[in-house]
Amino acid sequence: MYFNDTRFTEVNIELTNHCNFNCWFCPRHAMSREKGMMDYEQFEKMILNLNSADFLEEIALAGIGEPTLHPDLIKMISFIKKNTHFKVVLTTNASKFAKQSFIDELLESNLDKITVSFRISDHIKNKMSLASDIDYAKYINSILKLVETVHKSNYNTEIELAFFKETYYSRYILDVNTIDFINTKLLNDFFNKFSRLLNTNLPSYDDYTRGISSHLSNVDRIPVTEGISVRFDGLSSWTTSVEKYENSSTCYPSKYGSCFGMRTHFAIYWNGDVSVCCADFDVKNIIGNIFKEKDIIKILSGEKAVSYAEQLRGNRMPTKTCQICRGGTSLKEKWANIIGTFAYVK
């Protein structure tokens, strides 16, 4: 079967599409689907079915919402680790780390990796993004508290801190100026505190991101010390998603391009809908529902799933949603997305 010939490595699971942040770059603004939380009993059955299918390696708890808002998050992670072989990776905005008790419970669940999406680098410019009940200084300290807890303990959980950086793509294709979304002074200050906490001599944020190679690459992953790393991401085409979806007159869709969807992963959303890709934020590319069909092999072997997989692996965008995603708000963005993904997605 196609997903055994070229193995999927992960499934992206959205526990909820509720979020307590309002990040300026996120396409939540264009999301029209119902909001909700994944049912715990359905979650257990789904995990056992995914495990019995025996072709996945990793579960990524992410999606368009904030997974730490789910009241059963700790129990869900513990269930996966006790009953399967899966690696568990949690992506979070770190808003719940102000409570040391939450950090401790999360680490005791034995999850493998926490990726902190640290995208709010300026509490003034990005004021609308941060939750209203979160103090910026305390937010920064809570991220450092997580790092300190892992660094000074015997937990095996890997910590990755993910930051934005400027790239030639963001500056000259998306026409987004660094000053509009990055405060390098505050980030340099954070890296100084980060360095002192780890008792090591780390480069500054500027030193990490100023080189030509950094501006050319979309993602840089750099180990800092054992079990702790940093990642620098360039802005993606998600930045223009709202404009592309809400105003078709400003969108140049593309029928061609490359995508990791149905190559390395697929996605399951909070209500059980299965889609071809984790970037399908409004879940338009549904190939089945795991809560209703209860068999991921059957879903991925279905006519629609196989058709989508063949087209995506042939560098063709199978649906309007895919064509908008791979397209752009300008012809230069569209062609940069097409050419760039051919080079990036192997």
pLDDT at 4: 55
pLDDT at 344: 65
Dist. CA 163–CA 118, nearest whole Å: 5
Please provide the average confidence, as pLDDT, over all residues in the chain.
91
pLDDT at 7: 64
pLDDT at 127: 72
pLDDT at 181: 80
Dist. CA 240–CA 303, nearest whole Å: 32
The amino acid that residue 297 corresponds to is I
Question: Under 8 Å CB-to-CB from 247, ≥6 apart: which residues?
Answer: none
Dist. CA 186–CA 118, nearest whole Å: 12
Tokens of 217: 């690459």
Task: Please tell me the pTM assigned to this model.
Answer: 0.94
b/e 31-49 (16+ beta carbons within 10 angstroms → b): beeeeebbeeebbeebbeb
Q: What is the DSSP letter of 108?
A: H
pLDDT in tens, 146-194: 999 999 998 999 999 999 999 999 889 988 887 778 899 999 999 999 9
Please tell me whether residue 232 adopts helix, strand or coil conformation.
strand
User: How far are the Cα atoms of 155, 206, 222, 229 from residue 183, in angstroms, in the given order?
Assistant: 32, 11, 21, 21
3-state secondary structure 269-304: CCCCEEECCCCCCCCCCEEEEHHHHCCHHHHHCCHH
Dist. CA 324–CA 155, nearest whole Å: 42
Residue ranges and CATH numbers for the domains of the chain are 10-237+260-315 (3.20.20.70)
pLDDT at 2: 54
- Tell me the sheet residues that pair with 221: 231
**Torsion-angle region of residue 34: left (phi > 0), alpha (psi -120 to 50) or beta?**
beta
Q: What is the DSSP letter of 36?
A: -
pLDDT at 17: 97
Dist. CA 171–CA 67, nearest whole Å: 31
pLDDT at 5: 58
Q: Residues 19, 24, 28, CA angle at the centre, nearest 5°?
A: 45
Q: Identify the H or E element spanning 197.
A: helix 184-198
The full DSSP string for 41-55 is HHHHHHHHHHHHH--
The amino acid that residue 220 corresponds to is D
Tell me which residues of the chain have a pLDDT lower than 70.
Answer: 1-7, 128, 344-346
- Residue 64 in contact with residue 14, Cβ under 8 Å? yes
Strands (E) across 44-174 are located at 58-62, 87-92, 113-117, 158-164
